[in-house]
Structure 1
């Protein structure tokens, strides 16, 4: 198991889904619910993994949604 951050394992569709869901979770946290801290934390993680295009849990399971052909 090697966490190589330079190898992207999050594809474009997965990235957009993470950005939308992460943004919605952070919005819910600002609107105030009983799970404010947890929603904000999960939203921040989703946005972070979308930004860096790397998901550590995908590496654990040797999975990639990135279908780009490497050069």
Structure 2
């Protein structure tokens, strides 16, 4: 499993997920608030299974130098 979620994206996912879970735990929002587990987990793990299907990747990869032979 290759990382495909970048830094800012990861932070936003963790924050949004935690806020949704907190609101759901306090009863402020309905059952859908428990869906906050999805962005929280994808942010913590660094992989979003939907991104490859959509052709997205927010993770900045270091480019290897090409060596001509």
TM-score under structure 2 normalisation? 0.82
Structure 1 runs of 4+ off > 2 angstroms?
none
Aligned residues: 64
TM-score under structure 1 normalisation? 0.80
Q: Which runs of 5+ in 1 are unaligned?
A: none
Q: Which has the larger radius of gyration?
A: 2
Q: Which runs of 5+ in 2 are unaligned?
A: 65-69
Query: For 1:64, what is the secondary structure of its paired residue?
Result: coil
Deviations 1:13-69 (A, max 9, x none): 00000000000000110110351x2111x2111111011110011110111000131
